[in-house]
Homo-oligomer: A and B are copies of this chain.
Amino acid sequence: MSAENQADKNGDMDGASARGKLIETASLIMREGDTIDISFSELSVRSGLNSALVKYYFGNKDGLLEAILERDMTKIVEDVGLLIAKDMPPEDKLRHHIGAVIDTYYKYPYIHRLTMRLIRDLPPEGARDIANKYLKPLSEAYGIFVGDGIKTGVFRDLDPDLFYSAVTGAADRFFTGKLVWKYCYGRDDFDEKMRDAYREQTVDLVMAGILAR
């Protein structure tokens, strides 16, 4: 049976939902294992779908990783676009945005590593394509709403690109450190309560850091 037939005959699942299930399962494996190394065989066992389907839909591992990144990043870029368009003071936009970044890293703790892996391993055009689709819009958004706050004097004068780097790094680190939490502090409570505490403290820290006194 060809992979295509297998896709059609896979229980009640049509092609689109089989593809979606593979992306969803791969995302869960990366989240649980705090890793971006996934094997086609584990993906096949966990999703209950034939591993030929993975090859059929995504070609190779990079194809699967790109599909996961697309699913996760498209929403982020859209949300930032909507935020920019809102009639809201820059400090409220920034506060809202930092909270959203922290929630995103909680949900997809692998997303930075995944982006870096693809940018590093794809041919230059592929790397540029990912930068253009997902990273440039975010960097430009910082230029706009941080720039607005600097112009009106509500923010201190600083470089929005360097600020972007500090904010996303601070937001990301905590959640990639799940195992640090476990082995350093003997804690397994890496849950939504912890996320909320981290969000609150980090948003306050960054806002106090950028607001003009």
Where the two chains meet, the residues of A that have a C-beta atom closer than 8 Å to any C-beta of B are 33-35, 112, 116, 119-120, 127-128, 130-131, 135-136, 139, 156, 158-159, 161-163, 165-174, 176-177, 179-180, 183-185, 197-198, 201-202, 204-210, 213
Contacts and interface: CB of A to CB of B under 8 A. Distances in A.
A198 B135 contact: no
Interface SS of chain A: helix, strand, loop or mixed?
helix
Give the copy number: 2
B120 A183 contact: no
Contact of A208 (B156, B161, B162, B168): B156
Contacts of A119: 179-180, 183
A207 B198 CA distance: 18
A167 B182 CA distance: 19
26 contacts: A33-B120, A116-B176, A116-B177, A116-B179, A119-B180, A127-B183, A128-B183, A135-B183, A139-B185, A159-B197, A162-B201, A163-B201, A165-B170, A165-B174, A165-B177, A166-B170, A166-B174, A166-B202, A169-B170, A169-B172, A170-B170, A205-B209, A207-B209, A208-B209, A208-B213, A209-B209
